[in-house]
Structure 1
Amino acid sequence: MLTKLSIKNYALIDDLNVSFSQGFTCITGETGAGKSILLGGLSLVLGKRADLSSLRNKELKCVIEAEFTLDKYGLSPFFEEHDLDYEQKTIIRREIRPNGKSRAFINDTPVTLDIITLLGNKLIDVHSQHQTMQLTDNDFQLRVIDALAGNGKALVAYSKTLSIYKRVSNELDELIEFQRNATKEHEYNSFLLQELQDAPLQNGIIEELEEQYEQLNNVEMLLGLLSKGNQLLNDEQVGVLQLMLELKQVSSKLSGFGSQFSELNERIQSVLIEMDDISDDVNRLQEGAEANPQLLEEINTKLQLLYNLQKKHNAVDVSELVTIRDTLAEKVAVTENIGTSISEKEKELGTLRTALEEKALYLSERRNKVLPDLKKQLKESLAPLGLPNATFKIEIVPATEFKSNGKDDLTFLFSANKGSDYGALKKVASGGELSRIMLVIKAILAKYENLPTIMFDEIDTGVSGEISNRMGDIMKDMGTTMQVFSITHLPQVASKGDHHFKVYKQEEDGVTGTKMKKLDRNERVEELAEMLGGKDLSDSAMAHARQLLN
């Protein structure tokens, strides 16, 4: 509830500080005294756009603070969602600077106007004769019915299932769209994949093939060089091996003359063994080297294939071709399996749809059960408010699609007089009738859920004394479970308040300003008497005022 309101440098208000309590609070004052200014200041702190012309002193900033207690509202998740410090006593502050810039704070944390507007809507409901469009909205009308039906938990369960249903439905749409686009590319991707799968994509394959190609392509030169090498190694007269054998004979004779000659002999022996191995390898290579045009062509074909694939896919090496092949394989596999994925997603969506249908039907059945009681309460409550023949025709029929609050279409029709045709509220109800209907509906809602603070702004304008008396009773009754404000010109309503504030103008140093004070009992009697009979307080007006308070 609203516990404190501070307004500085706004319109006719220089510095106003006021505290409020639980229950029904009435605010009165002469026309032009500043009641609308007070409401305007409160609207600013609740997110209304700032107007620089509203600054009283154009050289100073305007500061408006409202303190609320939040114990009944369950707003901790809201604060957590917006990264704000949650406190049982929360202060919303709005500052408007002379340069036109505006800042907003929740518990000293800077926030955007959107956030304080969201929070403000959860804390205060301002209602006037000109703000009854909510009453004609189907979602609001269903909210009233759901309150009577006790559908709170069922709506939460439905909402969770609907959220999952929408997510899965979007996923299915994405899969179908993917399939539509992927099918166009599938054949091409499959062709590219087949090319890569047919290619010998092993690490080092290009280097290996290039080596084989060079050998086969130059086989005659290779055979000539190997033959020459073999001749140099094995010639019976001057071959390296023959010379090494002769050198070995010399070193063997020298080895008996000391260790250094023995070591030399061993080294020559090692060289001879190595040269003998070299000779064997040259012989083997010479025997294995032969012209093979067919193999040369095969190797050349493989190399050209790999070269072309690298160029085609702009790949630096074979490892990049492998990566591209694997990526294409995934795309092709996904496309080939998309039908299965779609079928599975359709099955999941069907299961969710069935669950949603059940939850929506449950909500609908409970709503239909309470319709007679709602129509009865509306009729009984409106009769004393000057609408004795007011009746409602409320019907719930299944909708064709799932909505945020179920699967129902609501017809909410009104007739004010006997014999009159039923029609939509916004078409057949006057402003005064809408105000009284809204008052009654808010009173009904207050019995079933924790409503935010309600401020009724002169909704009793133009009604008779007896009707205003009953309207006051309704607001007072609402005040037993919540905080209710009424800005009123009618003494019958003002007398019902648990608390009574007066807004008035006062001149100081030649400057007129708006003030506000809480009235004690004697001051309330005088205020009510003035509202009844004017400035001249007659004995009869005073007596009538006391009677109203009693």
Structure 2
Amino acid sequence: MLTHLNLLNFALADHLAIDIEQGFNVLTGETGAGKSLLLDALSACLGERTDTNYVRYGTEKSDVTAIFSYQADSPEALWLKTHELDDESGEIHLRRVIFATGRSKAWINGRPSSLSELKEIGRLLVQLYSQHSQQQLLEPPYPKHWLDRYSDFHLPAQAVRDAYSIWQKNIKMHQAALDAQATRLQRIETLERQLEELEEVISIDYKEIEQEFDRLSHHEHIMQDCSYSLNVLDDSEQNITQELSSLLRRIESHAGRSEQLSEIYNSMLNAQSELEDATANLRQFIDRQSFDPERMEQLNAQLEIFHRLARKYRTQPELLKIEFDEWQQELQKLHQLEDPETLAEQVELSQQDFLNKAQHLDQIRREAAPPLAKQLTEQVKQLALPEAYFEFRFDPLEQASAEGLSFIQLLFTANKGIPAQPLARVASGGELSRIALIMQVMNAEKTESEVLVFDEIDVGISGGTAEIVGRLLASLGQHVQILCITHQAQVAAQSDQHLLVKKLQTDPASSTIIELEEEQLVLELARMTGGVEINETTLQHAKQLRQLKFQHS
């Protein structure tokens, strides 16, 4: 779970350190106070996109750290071990630094990490639900995805996608074999002729013979320059080797008198050793050299062959070997190319495998749909929709796809005696927000993440409906940690921890987040229900809302 957030120069926050408790945590505050501060900071630590607005005005960078605790057998523990990021603390430290220039850096448990790694571990730790999630309900794939997620059909759905992919791949291979059959023999003959022409020449290293030919072409000049160099180094009366020995004797006599002279003497001594080795190697090189006219002719002939073939195949002489290898691979593939009849059998087999898996998935989806629709109906009825009714409709697809055999729609009606219609067609905005909220809560019950974040998902509800939502979230908070931004006092009253965001009149402006004690909490609930002026009536109502939490605990 999330245990701590530390914000330094992040947006309106100067320096905030917040401890987060287990259970149902709410975040409230007046409009413009900066309620999104905490969630924006958390999102930054989870690898989401940031911008320079997150850097507090007048500073060079913002620095955010989120600390999570985790269980030894959890998915995030396995991820940390796989990436060699686990430690003995039993904690996960996610840190993000955002610079005013737009750049950012990230760390996981102190090690520099990529944003993709932050996102990977973030998806395991936190699930985020926002007030905009209701728009997802209007997207055609959503009912199917929601059904699969709630019913844990991930594996059979993935098996269908994989089988469909293999089937389509086999179809393409079969068509390619049909297309290639006409030109296959002709291409094989061409490749074999080209390979035969290059077979002898590619056994020779072009760069080696080019270098050897160049050396023989300049043999006379090389020998003249090498002989002159050897004479200056060692053979003349006043050669460099003797002169250096004389210099060494002179410096050696004074080396003990100066540390700097001693270092110079050692450097010269090393240079003498290097020079002696070079002289010996040069003498050996000269002794081994000989000019071979026949070898030069042979090399010239080989180079001419290389250049002729390079011109013929429109490449560079040194690249002929690469061309040869590529032609060999192509020829091998053409020889291995299965005939169309064999591939047609594979198409049929893979199609049947896909259909078997797709029919199984379709069947379990149809079996799971009615009880899930019934459960959704009962949950939504609590939110001032007493006549709500849901059902899933399965329409066979004209052509099977990677997603299965049926197009799945969620049908809805809010009125008794009126047939259910596709949700996007008949649900009002207020109804959609309540349905989305319940579907998100039901999804949250199935998630493996230990932290669930709800960002103003209770927009559009109030009164008794908001109280029921609060109870739902509080009940969910007994199993996972919940962070919820809310404007509803009825929701906030059910919290285990209440965090208040306040804007401070500093220059520049800043925000702070404080944990409310019970008395402060009641005052905040009164403000949420009654506005700026808190009187005895609003205060009494706030106390009653808070008492409801303990009555239902």
TM-score (normalizing by structure 2): 0.67
The question of whether the paired residues in 2 share the 8 Å contact of 1:130 and 1:431 is answered with no
Give the partner amino acid of 1:177: A
1:85 aligns with 2:85: yes
- Please list the CA deviations of residues 383-441 of structure 1 after superposition, one character each: whole Å capped at 9, or x if unmatched: 22122222224112444556555443211233333466754434443333222112211
Percentage of identical aligned residues: 29
1:15 aligns with 2:15: yes
Q: 1:106 to 1:137 in 2, by over 3 A?
A: farther
Q: 1:453 to 1:514 in 2, by over 3 A?
A: same
Q: Which moved more, 1:369-378 or 1:129-138?
A: 129-138
Deviation of 1:488 after TM superposition, in Å, equals 1.4
Could you tell me which of 541, 546, 549 is aligned with 1:549?
546
Question: Which aligned pairs between 1:372-521 and structure 2 lie closer than 5 A?
Answer: 372-399=370-397, 403=401, 405-418=403-416, 422-451=420-449, 453-507=451-505, 511-521=508-518
Cα distance in structure 1, aligned partners of 2:118 and 2:406: 32
Q: 1:346 to 1:484 in 2, by over 3 A?
A: farther
In structure 1, the partner of 2:75 is 74
- Please list the CA deviations of residues 269-308 of structure 1 after superposition, one character each: whole Å capped at 9, or x if unmatched: xxxxxxxxxxxxxxxxxxxxxxxxxxxxxxxxxxxxxxx9
1:64 aligns with 2:61: no
The residue matched to 1:35 in structure 2 has which SS? Answer: coil
Give the partner amino acid of 2:94: I
Cα distance in structure 2, aligned partners of 1:441 and 1:334: 52
5+ residue gaps, structure 2: 201-304, 314-322, 548-553
The residue matched to 1:445 in structure 2 has which SS? Answer: helix
The question of whether the paired residues in 2 share the 8 Å contact of 1:129 and 1:434 is answered with no
Cα distance in structure 1, aligned partners of 2:452 and 2:533: 34
Q: 1:356 to 1:181 in 2, by over 3 A?
A: closer
Cα distance in structure 2, aligned partners of 1:52 and 1:333: 56
- Please list the CA deviations of residues 13-52 of structure 1 after superposition, one character each: whole Å capped at 9, or x if unmatched: 1011112122211111122221023333333333333222
Cα distance in structure 2, aligned partners of 1:53 and 1:325: 57
Deviation of 1:172 after TM superposition, in Å, equals 5.8
- Please list the CA deviations of residues 212-249 of structure 1 after superposition, one character each: whole Å capped at 9, or x if unmatched: xxxxxxxxxxxxxxxxxxxxxxxxxxxxxxxxxxxxxx
Cα distance in structure 1, aligned partners of 2:370 and 2:187: 66
Question: Which aligned pairs between 1:49-448 and structure 2 lie closer than 5 A?
Answer: 49-71=49-71, 74-75=75-76, 83=83, 85-86=85-86, 89-151=91-153, 155-157=154-156, 159-160=158-159, 162-163=161-162, 166-167=165-166, 169-170=168-169, 173-174=172-173, 176-177=175-176, 180-181=179-180, 183-184=182-183, 186-187=185-186, 189-190=188-189, 335=334, 338-340=337-339, 342-399=340-397, 403=401, 405-418=403-416, 422-448=420-446
In structure 2, the partner of 1:531 is 528
The question of whether the paired residues in 1 share the 8 Å contact of 2:526 and 2:534 is answered with yes
Deviation of 1:497 after TM superposition, in Å, equals 0.9
Aligned positions, number: 431
Q: 1:6 to 1:430 in 2, by over 3 A?
A: farther
Deviation of 1:452 after TM superposition, in Å, equals 5.4
Two-structure CA RMSD over aligned residues (Å):
4.0
- Please list the CA deviations of residues 510-537 of structure 1 after superposition, one character each: whole Å capped at 9, or x if unmatched: 5542111112222212222232334444
The residue matched to 2:66 in structure 1 has which SS? Answer: strand
The residue matched to 1:15 in structure 2 has which SS? Answer: strand
Deviation of 1:495 after TM superposition, in Å, equals 0.7
The question of whether the paired residues in 1 share the 8 Å contact of 2:191 and 2:331 is answered with no
The residue matched to 1:455 in structure 2 has which SS? Answer: strand
Deviation of 1:371 after TM superposition, in Å, equals 2.0
- Please list the CA deviations of residues 456-486 of structure 1 after superposition, one character each: whole Å capped at 9, or x if unmatched: 2222234231111111111112212222222
Cα distance in structure 2, aligned partners of 1:124 and 1:195: 60
Cα distance in structure 1, aligned partners of 2:55 and 2:70: 30
Deviation of 1:368 after TM superposition, in Å, equals 1.2
Give the partner amino acid of 1:496: Q
The question of whether the paired residues in 2 share the 8 Å contact of 1:95 and 1:103 is answered with yes
The question of whether the paired residues in 2 share the 8 Å contact of 1:168 and 1:345 is answered with no
Give the partner amino acid of 2:125: L
The question of whether the paired residues in 2 share the 8 Å contact of 1:179 and 1:335 is answered with no
5+ residue gaps, structure 1: 203-307, 316-323
The question of whether the paired residues in 2 share the 8 Å contact of 1:7 and 1:41 is answered with yes
Cα distance in structure 2, aligned partners of 1:112 and 1:164: 33
The question of whether the paired residues in 2 share the 8 Å contact of 1:364 and 1:396 is answered with no
Give the partner amino acid of 1:455: V
Q: 1:326 to 1:24 in 2, by over 3 A?
A: closer
Q: Which moved more, 1:529-538 or 1:20-29?
A: 529-538
The question of whether the paired residues in 1 share the 8 Å contact of 2:54 and 2:98 is answered with no
Cα distance in structure 2, aligned partners of 1:498 and 1:542: 20
The question of whether the paired residues in 2 share the 8 Å contact of 1:501 and 1:518 is answered with yes
Cα distance in structure 2, aligned partners of 1:77 and 1:403: 34
Cα distance in structure 1, aligned partners of 2:123 and 2:420: 32
In structure 2, the partner of 1:41 is 41
The question of whether the paired residues in 2 share the 8 Å contact of 1:491 and 1:531 is answered with yes
Cα distance in structure 1, aligned partners of 2:421 and 2:85: 48
- Structure index of larger Rg: 1
Deviation of 1:171 after TM superposition, in Å, equals 5.9
Cα distance in structure 2, aligned partners of 1:539 and 1:524: 15
Cα distance in structure 1, aligned partners of 2:191 and 2:491: 84
Cα distance in structure 2, aligned partners of 1:437 and 1:39: 23
Q: 1:379 to 1:543 in 2, by over 3 A?
A: same
In structure 1, the partner of 2:537 is 540
- Please list the CA deviations of residues 302-334 of structure 1 after superposition, one character each: whole Å capped at 9, or x if unmatched: xxxxxx9xx99989xxxxxxxx99999997786
Q: 1:527 to 1:329 in 2, by over 3 A?
A: closer
Cα distance in structure 2, aligned partners of 1:495 and 1:359: 48
Deviation of 1:448 after TM superposition, in Å, equals 3.9
Cα distance in structure 2, aligned partners of 1:187 and 1:375: 62
Cα distance in structure 1, aligned partners of 2:466 and 2:37: 24
TM-score (normalizing by structure 1): 0.67
The question of whether the paired residues in 1 share the 8 Å contact of 2:376 and 2:439 is answered with yes
Deviation of 1:357 after TM superposition, in Å, equals 2.2
Give the partner amino acid of 1:443: V
Deviation of 1:73 after TM superposition, in Å, equals 5.5
Give the partner amino acid of 1:92: L
Deviation of 1:547 after TM superposition, in Å, equals 2.0
Deviation of 1:493 after TM superposition, in Å, equals 0.8
Cα distance in structure 1, aligned partners of 2:195 and 2:496: 86
The question of whether the paired residues in 2 share the 8 Å contact of 1:446 and 1:481 is answered with no
In structure 1, the partner of 2:239 is none
Deviation of 1:150 after TM superposition, in Å, equals 4.5
Deviation of 1:364 after TM superposition, in Å, equals 1.8
